Amino acid sequence: MPNLLELKEVHAGYGPRSVLHGVSLSVPEGGIVSLLGANGAGKTTTLRAITAGVRWSGDIIFGGRSLRRLATEEIVRAGIAHVPEGRGICTELTVDENLKLGSHLRRDGAEVRKDYDRVFEYFPVLKERRKLSASTLSGGEQQMLALARALLMKPKLMLLDEPSLGLAPLVVRAIFQIVKSINQASRVAVLLVEQNARIALELSSSAYVLEVGRVAVSGASADLKDNESVRRSYLGY
């Protein structure tokens, strides 16, 4: 598969503080790739670099085009949907209003309606609660809303930042299963940031482990999962 996204020696940081020290990684078209690593390793910063949320150097190529100098909105239009850490939904808005934030840039009305139907098939609970404030949703339902909103952007790539955070294991399984179905049905590629390496490696086909702003290990998820020393040193199980 050709690469949809490619980071080449990306450096990034906050003010004078440098956090990423030359990160290179790639996500194939339609693929699922995990980005793992301990708290503070630079996973979120990597996603922020991709969406122009932080200043970076090096290069980031998406669909054959450099994202250098593009603003966040142009990056979204190019087909990258970011589900940030903490989900980024608006709890003062209803479920419906949150979903509209996903689809509002689109001009393909008929397709949008089909995508709403599809999203409600994946997440029936959101259909039931359309008119309710998003603040009434449980943590798992809010994560579903964030995913649904991202899907309504009709992205080529979804960036998911710790979707499992704070959720019960069964809810996490359900959500990851849906991510897998979405990936298979619509070929949307996924860059999945997780501290929960075990479940991330089950979902992804390849993975990168970040350690203080550098890729320490990378490879096929199946190999990383089975590699004793990788497991002990980087994955914590």
Ligand X SMILES: Nc1ncnc2c1ncn2[C@@H]1O[C@H](COP(=O)(O)OP(=O)(O)O)[C@@H](O)[C@H]1O
Binding residue (CB under 5 A) for Mg ion from 44, 142, 204, 218: 44
* Residue nearer to Mg ion on the CB measure, 31 or 37: 37
Does residue 196 belong to the site contacting ligand X (CB under 6 A)?
no
* Single residue of 7, 10, 26, 42 touching ligand X by CB under 6 A: 42
Nearer to Mg ion, 43 or 154 (CB): 43
Cβ 115 to Mg ion shortest distance, Å? 28
Q: 36 forms bridges with which residues in the sheet? A: 194, 209
When asked if residue 45 is in the footprint of Mg ion (CB under 5 A), the reply is: no
Q: Does 40 bind ligand X (CB under 6 A)?
A: yes
- Determine the interface stretch with ligand X among 40-48, 75-83, 87-95, 147-155 (rule: CB under 6 A): 40-48
Q: Minimum distance between the CB of residue 170 and ligand X, rounded to whole angstroms?
A: 25
Q: Residue by residue, what is the 3-state secondary structure of the chain? A: CCEEEEEEEEEEEECCEEEEEEEEEEEECCCEEEEECCCCCCHHHHHHHHCCCCCEEEEEEECCEECCCCCHHHHHHHCEEEECCCCCCCCCCEHHHHHHHHHCCCCCHHHHHHHHHHHHHHCHHHHHCCCCEHHHCCHHHHHHHHHHHHHCCCCCEEEEECCCCCCCHHHHHHHHHHHHHHHHHHCCEEEEEECCHHHHHHHCCEEEEEECCEEEEEEEHHHHHHCHHHHHHHHCC
Among 10, 32, 33, 41, indicate the residue that binds ligand X (CB under 6 A). Answer: 41
Minimum distance of ligand X from residue 214's CB (angstroms): 12
Token readout for 235 is 């994955």
Q: At closest approach, how far in Å is the CB of 54 from ligand X? A: 8
Tokens read off for 112 = 């949008």
Name which position in 17, 69, 107, 131 contacts ligand X (CB under 6 A). 17
Structure tokens at 15: 């003010």
Contact of residue 218 among ligand X, Mg ion, none (CB under 5-8 Å per partner type): none
Residue 4 CB, nearest distance to ligand X (Å)?
22
**In the complex, which residues of this chain contact Mg ion (CB under 5 A)?**
43-44
**In the complex, which residues of this chain contact ligand X (CB under 6 A)?**
14, 17, 19, 37, 39-45
